[in-house]
Structure 1
Amino acid sequence: MMIDENPTPMMTDVEPWGDDLELPSTTFVLANGLTVIVHEKHDMPLVSIAMLYRVGSRDEPAGKTGFAHLFEHLMFGGSENVPGSAVENLQKAGAIRLNASTGRDHTTYYETVPLGSLDYALFLESDRMGHFFPAINQTVLDQQRNVVLNEKLETEDGTYSKLYERRLKACYPPEHPYAHTVLGEVADLQTATLEDVRDWFRTHYIPSNAVLTLVGAIDVGMVRQKVETYFGHIPAGEPLFRPAVWVPAIPWGRRDVCQVKGKAASLMVCWNIPPYGDSDTILLSVAANMLASGMSSRLVERLVYQEKIAESVTTTIEYAAMVSQFVITVSACEGAELTRIEVLIDEVLQAFIHNEQNEEMLARVKMEQLSAFAASYSSTSSIADLLSASYAMTGSADGYRRIINQIQTAALVDIRLAAQRWLMAQRYVLEMRPFSYQQDGFPLPDRSRIPESVPTMPISLPVLQHAILDNGMDVALVEYQGQPSVNINLILPSIHEEKPGVSALTFSLVNESGAGDRDALALHSMLRKWGASLYVRWDTQSTSISLQCRSQHLSASLGLLADRFFRTTIRESDFERHIQQWADSLNAYKHEADNIIAYVLPGLMYPPGHLYRVPGGIEATRASLKQLTFSQCQAYLQRLLLTRKGKILVTGETSLEKIVPLLNHYFSSLLCVEGEIKPKDVAIPTRVNARVFLIDIPKAEHSIILAASLTPGMDWEYDAAFGLLSDVFDRGFSSRINKNLREDKNWTYGVSQWSSNSVGSSIQCLEVSVQADRTIQAMQEIMNEYCALNGERPVTEAELHEAKAARLLSIGGMLEGFDGINHMVEQVQCYLLPDDYWQNYIEQLNKTSLDEVNQLARQYKRSDTLTWIIAGDITVLRDGIRQLNFGDVQVINDIGESLYE
């Protein structure tokens, strides 16, 4: 079959995907002023809830900064009729995507629950609104205040956080509501009294100041009845004062110059512009994408590719209700002058405002912007967030439609005039220069009975359809009709080079290179024209070339995928630029604890010669970078076309009847026989004794503690059971270690548990950042928890039951929307797992016994085989850590490159 490959229609004939984003909703208001928004989405038995209160840091008077965020934390401490942690209570009901956020204008609490838990979730949210006051006590205040102060320390313990605060003070006068950070001042938080926070609740957490949005397998009648039952009796509250729009002028010549440890020079230019939803701000969002979105955008093309004085350029608009900000950020190449970069920015802006005539670029940017916007709102939780924020910021749940319409109809002349009005005004400039240093009215319902979480019907897993191309290549398809897009992954077993860095560097070059008859800029322009994206991903298991495109442009977009695979052209100038960027980044690692930990971890966990002993992050050392050559990358790229067995994964709005002929047309010349690649050992290495490695971060105000161990990988028959063990012990809010260090001790903002998703073996990591003066005690508490797990406090039947129920209830949320389905299926295919992996995973969860979980704890949660990594001020910590006697103590010098040499 021949495929029609006629030239594409004129860009003006292409309809942006954003035009397809229709989210019909119903809005009603209770007698007490509570606004309720309902959107029906019946593809999964889930409901997402967004409870938005119109209160943020802008509402904080002098002396009470940080109160909005502090109160967000207090609201998770339990209410009168639902005592205990709100997080734990909701997780037991199967909640996923559970959290809260506080910004300048709003505070939002959100969760996604199985349909059977809707009553429970609404009861809990109404209890927090109407019956929280009795639960506010000094103990809860002191506990959450300490958690918030730790969050502030961890978040703002860095140059860039301090620079953000400096930018606020430069751009806004002291009396402006945006002139302070959301986290507030330490002194204000420390002096907050019980009566202060009670008054905050009485004033702001009232129905007339709230927007409740529900999205999912519901209908308006059902929602109205439930919301009236649970929320209708709550008093409306008193009228509130709301700050109006205030776009202050930035004083002339406002500029800061600062020195930043270990970073290349960078420049930030910032303008105050109108708030979210303003016509000029909508036009400026299009201008931002024309200036710095992709290789062919004006600033990127000029600074990165023509002048070669910048590594990257971004434009962002930070939206808010009173005033937004338009920000250009440029990361300079080493040796580039920031004054020169600023001059070039002005030249590009002047040319754009006075001379920009490229209608085709405007059409591409609109397509890209609207397609990205629509793709962001496919899940119930993202839709709930959009509708609630749209109502709060524009006064209507469908206010986003006005923004979409204005983007679609925006004319170049209007965009240029908006840019002239605002980007020619006074601005704030921040120069960041590298610093090299030496170490120195309704009836009250019965609230005594909490609604139960009713189990929802079993989850239906996606069905994989299979076909074979003419060349023998396997095709696996998952049809998804809820979004007009298709994702195609060409998956090949990875080729492993002996020289470190060749593979990763080659694919970095490929992602910025041209293909076929198009150079990099032309290829990028064509992708934008079709609303498509192309990305090459490499890891130790597989190499995948991924295409995401609109279903109506599938054939043309597949042609670009084929060009990327068969006719990629990498450039030596890009090779040299990447080598320098990687070297600069490695030089900067010595100031960045997280990067050093990620870099050294594989070298500490795996022996020489193991497939997974590869530096984390940048997969090279400074010495190995000097040995890499462009010809090595060229040769590696050619090896992609050698004989190997691969597969193609397709997800989205298509069928085998449609996609197979297209794939045969474009990939018939791809050889597909069993390859001759020699397998490398990926098995779990021999267990070693406990060790402690120290990374010196002089004068650090907090320390990072990481405890790592090895388990079998994702193909392990006990993968699901081990996940349940981690849920109980060290993963998530309800885990034992998080309760200990965060909730009981208040030494940290939170504990995280993560793993490397690998086949054969996997690194399991417990990681926590604690205030520096609690480092030794925190390590001892973690050790105590490990010992108790395998001693006097094994996992209990109740803990296992709760973990199993929550995980089974939440699996459905993983399958929601195009992105969720694609991620689950892609994970199986890329890690070379069987098609029925997720079915087997669910079966494992159901049949896991308490004996199995505790046996796994004895085998894999052992304190005597832990590898500890501690990043902090070792001049203060070293002696105390040695006295713990947790294992042999070693110091990692510089960034740990010797592990890989």
Structure 2
Amino acid sequence: MRLKLALSASVAALSLAGCATVPADKTATSAAIADAAVADTAPVSQEPADLAALTAQVDLPHEKFVLDNGLTVVTHTDRKAPVVALSVWYDVGSKHEPKGKTGFAHLFEHLMFNGTENAPADFFEYLRQIGATGTNGTTNADRTNYFETVPTGALETGLMLESDRMGYLLGAVTQEVLDNQRGVVQNEKRQGDNQPYGLLRYEIFENLFPKGHPYHHSTIGSMDDLNAATMDDVQTWFRDHYGPNNAVLVLSGDIDAATARPLVEKWFGDIPRGPEVVDPEVTIPTLPADKEVVTTDQISTTRIYRMWTTPGETDPESVPLQLAGAVLGGLSSSRLDDELVRNDPVATSVSAFQFGLEDAGAFIIQADVKPGVDPAEVASKLDAQIADFIAKGPTEDELLRAKTVTIAGVIRGLESVGGFGGKAPVLAEGELYHGNPAHLTTVLAQSAATTPAAVTAAMRKWLTRPVFKLVMNPGERTEGGENRGGAIVDPIASGTLGMEFYCQPTSRECDELAMGTMLQQVDRSTVPEPKALTGLDFPDIERTTLSNGMDVYFARRDAIPAVTVRVTFDAGYTADPMDGLGTQSVLLSLMDEGTATKSSSELAIAQERLGASINGFADADWTSFQLSALSPNLAPSLDLLAEYIRQPALAPADLERVRAQQLNRLSSELKSPNSIASRALAPLVFGDHPYAIPSSGRGNKDVVEGLTRTDLLAFHNTWLRPDNAKVFVVGDTTLREVTALLERTFGDWQAPPQPLPTKNFDVAIPDPEPRVVLIDRPNSPQSVITAARVLNLKGTDDTVLARAANEAFGGNFLSRINMNLRETKGWSYGVRSSVSSGTDRLAMFISAPVQADRTADSLAELRKDLTEFTTTKGVTAQELQGIVNSNVRELPGQFETSGGVLAGLVNIVKYGRDDTYYEDLADRYRAITAAELDQIARSEFVESDLVFVVVGDKDVVAPQLEALDLPLEIREAE
């Protein structure tokens, strides 16, 4: 169970930088109890969480200062790990772009990673060498940000790099760099457009915001504008928008203001102010009348949208609208879930949310039509539910649950000092948008105080205006995204582009009268080396065994008042019979739909009141059930987890709803180019081995259609049993306390008399049959190239050398194949290779989404790169240094959060490692030689054994592939 935020594939397409539940059948529930043969538990009553106590847990103490050049600096101290998060936010996004310059803000996000005048190599090289984690940059309509988390001893290195791209970039932006990154961005656009719902981003903003509005065009921009960008254009854009007075720098972690200030002044103080940026005026437009657009896309079922423009994040009404979205279609117990998915199942999934930008937003409601149901009926019922909710508003209890889930999520997110959602970005956004780094605490206080009347008033004000209705039907696209994303905006409405001049003395001649006197500059001739770095201190692993034999593994982390519990079973998708693929995936979904005593809605409500979240998931080897709980509510939350695992209802009526949802998800999987490739590749290389299955675990349509409650109950009782389970706990508790709670909730669970089941991995891997299998997906602007070879390694072996060698070839941004196809050729947004995870046989996989007209060229380059890597051009000294430095220095950052610790703890047990495995890993990497990496690459990464699967437009791609010296097989998509 979780709050369904704007993170689904369709919603993620809104910006660049949720499953619903169904009802439990009360009649069938009693049968489930009788059949399950599990012990009763005595649950603790689930009382609503204390909002005041929860809100009081959110504290963002900070210090703020401003340099003479206008740079605003915020520091926050968090000493739990020897790392510091750097986050630089520039007040420039796509809303600042005038006509003819769409996509510039995002293009610069890319350019600013490609080296500077004093640090000319790719920035990922420098950051990798110092062990940075969570490195990235994003762009949206309002801002551009860059962030990384570095070891404390490497802080000055990070500051030098961030200051250099702020003040000393343009001398490194050559025509070659511009042309290359233009190609990369255009392939990013093609990759996004190529996905199901990939054109949604254009439909929303182009229809809700009129031509001429700063939010009308997409952040990715238009192909024509990107093609037209000249060196003069990009230099002027940079000078006008990336000055220190238009930026916020946040340092969060093992740092304080007294230490930070002299370092920030040293590296940023000599950068002159830039022009004062004038933000465009942004209004909240209202459609003149209801508007409806009907499109087709390569999707599995009709999706219906209802949308309105709304206030942005800087408006107080944004908070009640966010809570309205949670109650209406965000919570698992939401109104729309109850009425359209559970009680009257005309939809397979629903959601509602407030999508907020800085100055305006959009309230978006969507429903996926259940196959066989008339979309007009769903639309009518959806509209009726919306109207009823606007008229009556939320109940006190609904609103309380929405607040509790929201605040609990914030608490969990703030454990990290950086990344996408930790303290540094929260502080930066607060300062940039509100002039208050701790603005989040204001939002939470407002949320806690929001009344049902306030939510109802906000909805009546904004959701009774004319609505934009979008209907997306399955079918072939009538147009792609090549000609979309542009804007019609007058230049004077978008700030300072072309109005002022800003120069750097080290890269070009300056007009001294215009620049004034330059400040004393720091020596930038070399990038500072990291100072003494603190090694990893992985938490002690404590162990115990419950009275029924269940092993418990515990690590204490008390940075936030939360505990995570994971119960794992040695099952996984390989426990599915080969003629029953998809069984476990359906079971996991059905277990969300209620227990012996609670319907699906009641189960969701119980979690929401506690600020807890329970979900089940699996990989090839293990099946897991994870609880995220607030420490004060751990006891009742564990009661819910035990009931969830031990006493699922598996009600027949719920099964039919889950079956429809699973078939819809499976159909969606068969529309995604990446999923199509993955489903085809695994059986080609693994043959009859258990790993020759779709990695998603969703299985096959005929199996899902034929599954019965008896099948699912048999799987549950066979595999999910206490003698097949392990319990992992990380968080703000003690082993003694959690053991007592686990003993009460799981200790009386006894194993059945039948022996433990086993999985047969003793299956021969077929000899490689090198060839290219082309799967036709018409009208694809990109082709997805995948390849694989099974290795002579198991996951329980020592895999350090194989994974290290893969890093050089394709395992990180700086790898051979990514630098070739992305950074040199500009044919792809990103290419990678990986060594799989699993307890049995591992495989090497390559994934390369490339522009369609370069499919064969790209495949040839991949083969060439691998051949050279395993023959004449082995691992270089620079690559080896990067592999060693990054893997050694990033360890403290890798385990900064309890989630990282939990992952490490699980891996230690799953793969049979020593408790000190991660602490010893640094010395293991320091001892690696290039010769060792070359040896394992030459024995395992055999190019002549690769099997390729290409998903693309046959008419475009087949003629290219026929010219290669590999057998070609053409298939239609499933």
Matched, 1:370 2:410: no
Larger displacement relative to structure 2 (20-29 or 502-511): 502-511
Matched, 1:427 2:467: yes
Counterpart Cα distance in 2 of 1:742 and 1:6: 55
Paired residue type of 2:543: H
Report the equivalent of 1:862. Answer: 942
The answer to whether the 8 Å contact 1:704/1:769 transfers is yes
The answer to whether the 8 Å contact 1:493/1:644 transfers is no
Paired residue type of 2:738: I
Q: CA deviation at 1:714?
A: 6.2
Seen in structure 2, the aligned counterparts of structure 1 residues 12 and 750 have a Cα distance that, compared at 3 Å, is: closer
Counterpart Cα distance in 1 of 2:90 and 2:477: 46
Report the equivalent of 1:723. Answer: 803
Report the equivalent of 2:495. Answer: none
Alignment of 1:89-488 (within 5 A): 89-158=126-195, 160-356=197-393, 358-381=395-418, 382-435=422-475, 442-488=519-565
The answer to whether the 8 Å contact 1:465/1:476 transfers is yes
Q: CA deviation at 1:337?
A: 2.8
Counterpart Cα distance in 2 of 1:55 and 1:437: 33
The answer to whether the 8 Å contact 2:75/2:257 transfers is yes
Q: CA deviation at 1:783?
A: 1.0
Larger displacement relative to structure 2 (693-702 or 642-651): 642-651
2:750 is paired with a residue of what secondary structure?
coil
Report the equivalent of 1:899. Answer: none
Paired residue type of 2:386: L
The percentage of aligned residue pairs carrying the same residue is 29
Matched, 1:746 2:826: yes
Seen in structure 2, the aligned counterparts of structure 1 residues 516 and 219 have a Cα distance that, compared at 3 Å, is: same
Larger displacement relative to structure 2 (198-207 or 75-84): 75-84
Q: CA deviation at 1:239?
A: 1.9
Counterpart Cα distance in 1 of 2:170 and 2:722: 69
Alignment of 1:472-621 (within 5 A): 472-494=549-571, 496-498=575-577, 499-501=579-581, 503-608=583-688, 610-621=689-700
Larger displacement relative to structure 2 (400-409 or 183-192): 183-192
1:475 is paired with a residue of what secondary structure?
strand
Larger displacement relative to structure 2 (788-797 or 400-409): 788-797
Larger displacement relative to structure 2 (652-661 or 591-600): 591-600
Deviations 1:252-294 (A, max 9, x none): 1211011223420111111111110322110111111111123
Q: CA deviation at 1:80?
A: 1.3
1:243 is paired with a residue of what secondary structure?
coil
Counterpart Cα distance in 1 of 2:617 and 2:226: 45
Counterpart Cα distance in 1 of 2:733 and 2:678: 39
Deviations 1:531-582 (A, max 9, x none): 1111122333222222111111111111111211222101212222333333
Seen in structure 2, the aligned counterparts of structure 1 residues 661 and 145 have a Cα distance that, compared at 3 Å, is: same
Alignment of 1:68-79 (within 5 A): 68-79=105-116
1:431 is paired with a residue of what secondary structure?
strand
Paired residue type of 2:561: P
Counterpart Cα distance in 2 of 1:59 and 1:436: 35
RMSD: 2.4
Q: CA deviation at 1:835?
A: 4.1
The answer to whether the 8 Å contact 1:289/1:297 transfers is yes
> Which of 694, 718, 733 matches 1:654?
733
Q: CA deviation at 1:12?
A: 7.1
Q: CA deviation at 1:687?
A: 4.2
Deviations 1:866-900 (A, max 9, x none): 111111122333343243223x33233432xxxxx
Counterpart Cα distance in 2 of 1:714 and 1:37: 47
Paired residue type of 1:166: E
Deviations 1:634-693 (A, max 9, x none): 222233465634221111111122111211112122235994323411677254242321
Larger displacement relative to structure 2 (682-691 or 80-89): 682-691
Seen in structure 2, the aligned counterparts of structure 1 residues 862 and 241 have a Cα distance that, compared at 3 Å, is: same
1:512 is paired with a residue of what secondary structure?
helix
1:33 is paired with a residue of what secondary structure?
coil
Paired residue type of 2:778: P
1:515 is paired with a residue of what secondary structure?
coil
Counterpart Cα distance in 2 of 1:680 and 1:590: 28
Counterpart Cα distance in 2 of 1:702 and 1:168: 24
State the structure with bigger RCO (CA 8 A, min sep 6), 1 or 2: 2
Report the equivalent of 2:11. Answer: none
The answer to whether the 8 Å contact 1:705/1:768 transfers is yes
Report the equivalent of 1:898. Answer: none
The answer to whether the 8 Å contact 2:583/2:703 transfers is no
Deviations 1:11-54 (A, max 9, x none): 37454634311111111111110000101111111111111110
Larger displacement relative to structure 2 (18-27 or 170-179): 18-27
Q: CA deviation at 1:844?
A: 3.2
Report the equivalent of 2:15. Answer: none
Report the equivalent of 2:706. Answer: 627
Counterpart Cα distance in 1 of 2:595 and 2:912: 28
Seen in structure 2, the aligned counterparts of structure 1 residues 168 and 204 have a Cα distance that, compared at 3 Å, is: same
Larger displacement relative to structure 2 (799-808 or 206-215): 799-808
2:383 is paired with a residue of what secondary structure?
helix
Q: CA deviation at 1:345?
A: 2.7
Larger displacement relative to structure 2 (582-591 or 302-311): 582-591
Matched, 1:680 2:760: yes
Deviations 1:345-395 (A, max 9, x none): 332233223334621222111111111122122111121111101111112
TM-score, normalization by structure 2: 0.88
The answer to whether the 8 Å contact 1:73/1:144 transfers is yes
Seen in structure 2, the aligned counterparts of structure 1 residues 682 and 244 have a Cα distance that, compared at 3 Å, is: farther
The answer to whether the 8 Å contact 2:44/2:635 transfers is no
Q: CA deviation at 1:104?
A: 0.4
Counterpart Cα distance in 1 of 2:702 and 2:722: 33
Paired residue type of 1:559: D
Larger displacement relative to structure 2 (652-661 or 492-501): 492-501
Larger displacement relative to structure 2 (874-883 or 473-482): 874-883
Matched, 1:692 2:772: yes
Matched, 1:771 2:808: no
Seen in structure 2, the aligned counterparts of structure 1 residues 654 and 4 have a Cα distance that, compared at 3 Å, is: farther
Deviations 1:439-469 (A, max 9, x none): x964211222331122412111121101121
2:831 is paired with a residue of what secondary structure?
strand
1:884 is paired with a residue of what secondary structure?
coil
Counterpart Cα distance in 1 of 2:755 and 2:641: 22
Counterpart Cα distance in 2 of 1:350 and 1:786: 60
Paired residue type of 2:273: A
The answer to whether the 8 Å contact 2:576/2:583 transfers is yes
TM-score, normalization by structure 1: 0.95
Seen in structure 2, the aligned counterparts of structure 1 residues 677 and 7 have a Cα distance that, compared at 3 Å, is: closer
Larger displacement relative to structure 2 (635-644 or 557-566): 635-644
Q: CA deviation at 1:316?
A: 2.3
Alignment of 1:870-889 (within 5 A): 870-886=950-966, 888-889=967-968
Deviations 1:603-638 (A, max 9, x none): 112122x22222333532233334322221122223
1:869 is paired with a residue of what secondary structure?
strand
Seen in structure 2, the aligned counterparts of structure 1 residues 314 and 203 have a Cα distance that, compared at 3 Å, is: same
Counterpart Cα distance in 2 of 1:635 and 1:471: 22
Q: CA deviation at 1:150?
A: 1.8
Deviations 1:301-330 (A, max 9, x none): 111011100111111222111211110111
The answer to whether the 8 Å contact 2:84/2:150 transfers is yes
